[in-house]
Chain A
Amino acid sequence: MTVAYTYTWGPVLDNWDAFARGAWIDVWVTGISFLLACVLGVAIALFRRSGLRGLAWPAFAYVQLVRGVPLLVFLYWVYFGIAIVIGVVFTSVQAAIIALTLTGSAYTAEIFRAALGAVDRGHVEAAAALGFSRRDTFRIVVFPQAVRIAVPPLGNIFIGLLKGSTLISVIGVPDMVFQAQQINLSYFTPFEPFTAVALILVVLVAAFAALLTGVERALRLP
């Protein structure tokens, strides 16, 4: 049988600036979502460790619920579902950030919970013996150590969210996958634009991994 596929890099090369803009959207949407997911994750972890059932149980349920739904479905829900049910209409970038934040927070919460649990009890007792208040003990002694423990797994969450951001074009965010799909559908050339996306993603992940190694080194105890 006859199948001819002519590799045509022209459309990809002609649209390199669109790919660059798209990749930048992926990066900053991931960055903001990651920061928000960390804040939310710390809050949830503290709720779960609060010892108060009224706080711990909803926090546990939240993690279970959020972890149970695929990101793809989450994106649809936030973008279309919330608009349909309560009439709050987010832009697609807002919806993407919300969906990525929620998904990420379920994972960051577990990481912070484990990290807080891993801080040596002896340090807390020593701080108390030195007359630190409970708040200061947490702020000065426990939290900085927990963050140090949490950094490597948090780095993985960031990379996970960056990869997850390759799905946000389903709700119309003009990211790099959107640009790739645009070229695919206009020229019927699927391989070239998606190879371009893969290359950009590899570079981004490698750059972030290098950055993370630097951060870990900087945070290492002397």
Chain B
Amino acid sequence: MIASGVVAYTFRWSVVSESIGEFGRGLLVTLELSALSLVLSLALGLVVALARLSPLAPLRLVAYGYVQIFRALSLYIYVLWIYFGLASAVGVNLSPLAAGVVALTALNSAYMAEIYRSALAAVDPGQREAALSLGFGRVRAFTTVTLPQAVRIAVPGLVNQFIDIVKDSSIIAIIGTLDLMGVANQLVSYYRAPFELYTLVAAFYLALVLSISAAATMLERRLQRHLA
């Protein structure tokens, strides 16, 4: 570490106001990436969790493999593989945005599957038995009794996962998406003002994440009230 008096960097905060329009468009791309990935991984995660709890051994095995594979590597590597590897190996040619959504969904659905699974396990089995003894079918007992309670238990974990999706979406810029991070990289090369522009991009992500946290707190309160 050097504490130096030789730092020679001139701040140019004017570049921030000049590029705010581009960042607005970048924000839309980040939102699109994150929202699509959230919806898809919420659904896929539940399917995988159910498969892991299924009585059929092959199904359990596939689901277990899915979770292990997609939790094993970093998004950085997966994005490169899905965007370039799939195209050159099997000719599936996705746009950068689509490849980003696929990568974020694959990774996060694996994590969400584990969150759902532990939430489903945390629901008192007596509830299900009570429903069955009241003459509910197995499917109905699951959809009306077990699942709603499990979802309520899973909400905080799922919200954290959504926050990770938003932040991790910054990595997709390596394949050329013009999301917040991609816009920042491009403008840095034009204005050569990295500090100002990366600070701005940090502020955007922070604002996004804090809004999600606030919305989640409200949602959790609602669910609690409903429960009481």
Contacts and interface: CB of A to CB of B under 8 A. Distances in A.
Interface of A: 3, 5, 64-65, 67-73, 76-77, 80-81, 83-85, 87-91, 94, 159, 163-164, 166-167, 177, 190-191, 194, 197-198, 201-202, 205-206
Contact of B1 (A90, A167, A205, A206): A90
Contacts of A64: 210, 213
Q: Which applies to chain A's interface (DSSP): helix, strand, loop or mixed?
A: helix
B213 A72 contact: no
B105 to A, nearest CB: 17
B141 interface: no
Q: Which applies to chain B's interface (DSSP): helix, strand, loop or mixed?
A: helix
Contact of A69 (B168, B171, B202, B213): B202
Contact of A81 (B75, B88, B199): B199
Nearest to B197: A76
A119 to B, nearest CB: 19
Contacts, number: 99
Nearest to A167: B76
Interface string B178-206: 00010000000000001100110110011
B167 A94 contact: no
A81 B194 CA distance: 9
Contacts of A91: 1
Contacts of B71: 159
Contact of A73 (B2, B163, B198): B198
26 contacts: A3-B88, A5-B88, A64-B210, A68-B208, A68-B209, A70-B167, A70-B170, A70-B171, A70-B181, A70-B205, A73-B170, A73-B201, A76-B194, A77-B202, A80-B195, A84-B195, A87-B7, A88-B1, A89-B1, A90-B1, A94-B1, A166-B76, A167-B76, A177-B76, A198-B81, A201-B74
